[in-house]
Amino acid sequence: MAVSTYKIIEIIGTSDTSWEDAARNAIQTADENLRDMRISEVTKLDVTIKDGKVKSYRVRLAVSFKYHTLIKKIKTQERPEDLFSDRIKT
């Protein structure tokens, strides 16, 4: 079995319509910057209130993603510009 290391971060997503949309927005935004996301756990749900009505839904997520070391990438890349080419989405 391959040994892997994962990092966990917290992110917060918002939506005007639902907690599900707030979570989806957070994950989609995080996906633009993180590779190999694996699991997300809802750690907190809340709402913002204005004039006695729900204004927006917020969800706090603990997101795990696979940790890749830069040293390993440097050893396998021939050109410096290739180090981060996999993070650029076209």
**29-64 per-position pLDDT tens digit:** 999 988 888 899 999 999 999 999 999 999 999 999
**Does the pLDDT at position 78 exceed 60?**
no
Closest Cα to residue 73, out of 64, 61, 85, 62? Answer: 85
CATH for 6-87? 3.30.1660.10
**Phi, then psi, of 59 in degrees rounded to 5:** -130, 135
The 3-state DSSP class for residue 5 equals coil
% of the chain beyond a pLDDT of 70 = 73
Please tell me whether the overall predicted TM-score, pTM, comes out greater than 0.85 for this model: no
Instruction: Share the mean pLDDT of the chain.
Output: 83
> What pLDDT shows up at residue 75?
57
| Residue 72, pLDDT above cutoff 70 | no
DSSP tally for the chain: helices H, then strands E: 2, 3
